[in-house]
Homo-oligomer: A and B are copies of this chain.
C-alpha cells in the first residue's frame, strides 16, 4: 500500500466523520425549523416562552457542533488527502462550502454571536413598538447598536481588497456576491425600469375589479391548494397551511411546509403568495435526499431561491396563458363573465403603480424599493450615513426612485423587519431573484419551446422538470453566478428581466 493510498484512506474516514457531524448539526437545525413552523402555524399563545428556550438550546448545540475544533481537523485532513481535488465532485463541493462556513463561524468571537442574538431579539421588539407609533426616534438607539455590531462583525469576517463592509455580511445570504456585483446589474436595471415606468404613465392602466371580488375563505383554500398541486408541489412530501406572514419552511426535501394567508377580497393575493411559496417549496423538494444535510443537498443562495418563487409567481402566475387556465378552471370564483374574462384577470394581476410599501409592490416597481434599501445599508456600514439621518435619506430615495412622498416612518424606513433582526446585505437578494428568474425562464423557453401553450391546458410539469434537472438537483455544486452561466450560457444581466417586463406591460398599457 503506497503512502498516498493510506493518506487517501484516512482522508475518506475523516470525510465520513465530518459528514456525520455536519448531518447531526443539520438534524438540530431542521428540528429548529419545525419548532419555528409550529410556532407560526400551530402553537397556542401560552407556548411562546418555552418555545424560545427550546429554540435557543438547539441553536447553541448546532453552533457548538459546527464550530468544534474537530471539524477544523477533519477539514484539514480531507483537504490534505486530496478529496477536494476534483472541484465538481460532491466531496469537493461539500468541502469547499464547509470550509467556507467553518472559517466564517470560527472567525466570530462567541460574545459577538451571543450579543447579536440578544440584540436581534430586543431590537425587533422595539421596532414593533416604534412602527406602531410610527416613531423612528424610538428605534434609533437600537438601530445604532445594530449598525455598530454589524460593522464589528464585518471587521471580523473581512471583505475583498476592492470591496466594502457590506460584502462581508451579504456573504451569508448570497455567497460570493459583492456590492460591486450587485451594482453592475442594478444600475442598468434602474434606468430601464424608470424609462418603462415613464412610458406606462402615458398609457391606459388595466382595470382592477377582478382583484377585489369577494370569495369565501373555504373556497379560496381549496382553490389555492389545487393550484399548488397542479403546478407540481408534492403534497405527499409537504403541507400548505395558514399563517400571519406566508413562508416556506419544513425540515427536509421530503417534508416541506408552505403557508399562505387569506382575505375575503384578496383571492388573487392569496393565489400569488401560494404560488410564490410553492416555488420555494418545489426547489426544496427538488434537492436530492441522498445529499440532505450537506451543501450538495442545500440551496445555492437566497437569490437563487427567490428566483424559483418569483418565476412561478410572476413569469407563470401572471402570464395571460395561466390566467386563461385559471379562468377556465376557477372562473366561477371570480364571477367574471364574457370572452375577455381571462384578459381582465391578466390585467388586474399586472397593474403597475409606484407606491410606499415594498411587500405590496408590483413586480416592476418592487426592484426600486430594494435599491433604496441597498443604497442606505451600504452607506450605514461604510460609516457614510448617520443612523439619525436614515428617515430623511429613505424619504429622499423614495422621492427620487419611485416619485412618491413618504408620509410617516411607519410607511417609510420602519416598514421592514430585517434591520431590527441584524440583517443587512439581505434585501438585494429579492431583486437578484427577479433577475435570475427572468434569465432562467428565458432559457427554459428557448429549450422547451411553447411553455404557455401547456399552461392553457394546466400542463406545468415541463418547466418543473427542467428546473429540477438544471437547478435543484445540483445543490450547491455551483455558486449563484456560475450556475447562471452553466444554465443560461451568460452571466447575470438586467436584459432578460427588462425584456420580459417591457414585452408584457407595454402592450397591456397600450404604449
Task: Check if B235 sits within 8 Å of A47, measured CB to CB.
Answer: no
- Contact of A392 with B by CB under 8 A: no
Most buried by B among A28, A50, A57, A58: A50
Q: Which residue of B lies closest to A50 (CB)?
A: B252
Number of interface residues of A (CB under 8 A): 33
Q: Are A49 and B251 in contact (CB under 8 A)?
A: no
Interface flags for A10-49 (1: CB within 8 Å of B; 0: not) read: 0000000000000010011011001100100011111101
Query: Does A2 count as interface, using CB distance less than 8 angstroms?
Result: no
Q: Which of B34, B50, B292 contacts A30 (CB 8 A)?
A: B50
Residues of B within 8 A of A38 (CB): 34, 38
Please state if A46 and B254 are interface contacts (CB–CB under 8 Å). yes
Q: How far does the Cβ of A300 sit from chain B's closest Cβ, in whole Å?
A: 21
Which residues from chain B contact A57 at a C-beta distance below 8 Å? 24, 27-28
A239 within 8 A of B: yes
Interface residue from B44, B54, B254 paired with A236 (Cβ < 8 Å): B44
Q: Which residue, A45, A47, A237, A239, has most C-beta atoms of chain B within 10 A?
A: A47
Expressed in whole angstroms, the minimum distance between the Cβ of A278 and any Cβ of chain B is 14
B-chain residues with CB within 8 Å of residue A292 when the two chains form the complex: 50
Let me know if A53 and B27 touch, CB within 8 A. yes
Q: Which of B51, B237, B255 contacts A51 (CB 8 A)?
A: B255
Task: Give, as a whole number of angstroms, the nearest-CB distance from A442 to chain B.
Answer: 33
Q: A61-B61, A252-B50, A292-B50 are in contact. Are A235 and B44 (CB under 8 A)?
A: yes
Asked if A238 lies at the interface with its beta carbon under 8 angstroms from chain B, I say: yes
* A interface SS class: helix
Chain B hits for A58, CB < 8 A: 31
Once bound together, how far apart are the Cα atoms of A85 and B359, in whole Å? Answer: 62
Which residues of chain B have C-beta atoms less than 8 A from A30's C-beta?
50, 54
Q: How far apart are the CA atoms of A53 and B252 in the complex, in Å? A: 11
For A468-507 the 0/1 string (1 means CB < 8 A from B) is: 0000000000000000000000000000000000000000
Contacts of A238 in B (CB 8 A): 44, 46
Contact between chains at B44 and A42 (CB < 8 Å): no
Interface positions of A from 248 to 265, Cβ below 8 Å from B: 251-252, 254-255
Contacts of A27 in B (CB 8 A): 53-54, 57
A252 touches B31 (CB 8 A): no
Residues of B within 8 A of A235 (CB): 44
A255 touches B54 (CB 8 A): no
Q: How far is the CB of A387 from chain B (nearest CB, A)?
A: 37
How many angstroms between the C-alpha atoms of A53 and B31 in the bound complex?
10
Complex Cα gap A383–B128 (Å): 66
Closest B residue to A49 by beta carbon equals B254
Docked-complex contact A236 and B45, CB < 8 angstroms: yes
A44 to B229: give the CA distance in the assembly, Å: 14
Interface residues as binary, A44-80 with B (CB distance below 8 Å gives 1, 0 otherwise): 1111011101100110010000000000000000000
Is A31 within 8 A of B50, CB to CB? no
In the assembled complex, the Cα of A171 lies from the Cα of B28 at a distance in Å of 32
Q: Which residues of A from 215 to 250 have beta carbons under 8 Å from B? A: 234-239
Q: Complex Cα distance A30/B46, Å?
A: 15
Which one of B54, B234, B251, B254 lies within 8 Å of A54 (CB-CB)?
Answer: B251
**Complex-state Cα separation, A34 to B47, whole angstroms:** 12
- Inter-subunit contact B47/A254 (CB<8 Å): yes
Report yes or no: B34 in contact with A236, Cβ–Cβ below 8 A. Answer: no
Provide the residues of chain B in CB contact with A50, threshold 8 Å.
30, 251-252, 254-255, 292
Set of chain B residues within 8 Å of A53, measured between Cβ atoms = 27
Complex CA distance for A28 and B43, rounded to whole angstroms: 17
Residues of chain B lying within 8 A (CB to CB) of residue A252:
47, 50
B residues in contact with A24, CB < 8 Å? 57
User: Which residue of chain B lies nearest to A255 when distances are taken between CB atoms in the complex?
Assistant: B47
Q: How far is B61's CA from A47's CA once the two chains are assembled, in angstroms?
A: 23
Q: Which of B35, B44, B46, B254 contacts A34 (CB 8 A)?
A: B35
Q: Which residue of B lies closest to A252 (CB)?
A: B50
User: How far is it, in angstroms, between the C-alpha of A499 and the C-alpha of B12 when the chains are bound?
Assistant: 71
Question: Whole-angstrom distance between the alpha carbons of A245 and B402 in the complex?
Answer: 57
> Could you tell me the distance between the alpha carbons of A51 and B252 in the complex, rounded to whole angstroms?
9
6 contacts between A and B (CB under 8 A): A34-B38, A44-B239, A47-B254, A47-B255, A50-B251, A51-B255
A-side interface residues toward B, CB under 8 Å?
24, 27-28, 30-31, 34-35, 38, 42-47, 49-51, 53-54, 57-58, 61, 234-239, 251-252, 254-255, 292
Given A47-B237, A47-B252, A47-B255, 12 extra CB contacts under 8 A = A27-B54, A28-B57, A31-B31, A34-B34, A42-B42, A43-B255, A44-B235, A44-B236, A44-B254, A47-B251, A50-B252, A50-B292
